[in-house]
Amino acid sequence: KYDSVLGPLDAEVSAKDDSIVVNGKALKVFCSKDPAAIDWSSLGAEIVIESTGKLTDATQAKAHLQGTVKKVIISAPAKNEDITLVLGVNDDKYDAAKHHIVSNASCTTNCLAPSTKVLHDNFGVLKGSMTTIHSYTNDQNVLDFPHKDLRRARAAAINMIPTSTGAAKAIGLVMPELKGKLDGYAMRVPTPNVSVVDLVCLLDKPATAEEINAKLKAAAEGPLKGILGYTEDPVVSTDMMRNPNSSIVDGQLTKVLDGNLAKVVSWYDNEWGYSCRVVDLCIFMAKKGL
């Protein structure tokens, strides 16, 4: 019912027996550490969204595949998955006959990939480096406390914290032609939601900032509408709260140095926008076939 970032849900929410009831619709609650012990068939479930963060290895997540369940979507970067899909980038590779455990990648890869695809399709990306200035997450600590990453061990709300991200390298999973050509890191900052990707890349074909923006805007209004957004307004992070796009290009910040070194900056609501893509991926897979 209540959320500290997105505010209260505009719905009637209550608990009854083993269900959460939202506007009169009962949603069954299961409690088990073993996915094989969950009776999905009692609900007729065909797609399971694996969002616990504990079963990102497909060898474990595949335990959901029983009874009525035909597909599992892991809402995170995964291991041993059948395929990683980023809508608008490589969803044409989905094969219902072969792909049963699907990773929706990370929120950052979902932000980075659409704009990178537009750049690569139109100008050619030779190599690049990205930084995600990312709101803090549950993998950090409220106060200094032990963590395997000594930087993430520090208090999240009062520090800017450099740390790793696999988002750039993961581009190779959805755009194989760019495998090994992008890398980067994350700077975790003291905001609870909304992040931004700063991509700098070397282009094969010379371009101006205006030409790059024209291609990005055309894609946002055309084939990538609903996934890629474009704005030239002087926005800040809170303006992007609840934006359903995977990536919103900030056209004012596009830069080109010496004709082929380009900078493209893209915002994303790392909670809401990513959740929208998970829903869209469910619908996409259901339409394409289970």
- Phi and psi at 288, nearest 5°, equal -75, -25
- Position 157 scores a pLDDT of 97
Report the pLDDT value the prediction gives residue 185, as an integer from 0 to 100. 96
Token look-up 């923006």 returns 213
Q: Residue 252 class from Cβ within 10 Å (0-12 exposed, 13-18 middle, 19+ buried)?
A: middle
pLDDT in tens, 225-245: 999 999 999 999 999 999 999
Helix (H) or strand (E) holding 240: none
Q: Tell me, what's the pLDDT at 4?
A: 96
pLDDT of residue 117: 98
Catalytic residues: 107
Q: Does residue 91 lie within any of the structural domains?
A: no
Q: Is residue 218 in some structural domain? A: yes
Encode pLDDT of 73-114 as tens digits: 999 999 999 999 999 999 999 999 999 999 999 999 999 999
Strands 125-135 vs 195-203: parallel, antiparallel or unpaired: antiparallel
Question: pLDDT at position 289, please?
Answer: 95
CA dist list (Å): 234 to 69, 195, 237, 252: 46, 16, 10, 8
Compute the average pLDDT of residues 277-290.
98
Domain that holds residue 7: 1-31
Q: How far apart are the first and last CA of the chain?
A: 32
Note the pLDDT of residue 227.
99
What is the C-alpha to C-alpha distance for residues 176 and 258, in angstroms, rounded to an integer?
Answer: 28
**Nearest-angstrom CA–CA distance, 79 and 65:** 17
| Cα–Cα distance measured from residue 56 to residue 59, given in angstroms and rounded to the nearest whole number | 9
Is residue 117 a part of any domain in this protein? yes
Residue 285 binned pLDDT confidence (cut-offs 50, 70, 90): very high
Q: How far is CA 67 from the centre of its chain?
A: 29
> At residue 145, what is the residue type?
F
pLDDT at 99: 99
Q: In the prediction, which pLDDT does 46 show?
A: 98
Number of domains in the chain: 2
Q: Which of 241, 248, 203 is nearest to 224 (CA)?
A: 248
Q: What is the pLDDT of residues 184-230, one digit of tens each?
A: 999 999 999 999 999 999 999 999 999 999 999 999 999 999 999 99
Q: What is the pLDDT of residue 225?
A: 99
- 3 state DSSP class of 242: coil
Domain annotation covers residue 19: yes
47: in domain: no
- Kindly report the CATH number assigned to the domain that includes residue 224: 3.30.360.10
Q: Indicate whether 149 and 255 sit together in one domain.
A: yes
DSSP readout, 155-176? BGGG--EEE---TTTTHHHH-G
Percentage of the chain with pLDDT > 90? 99
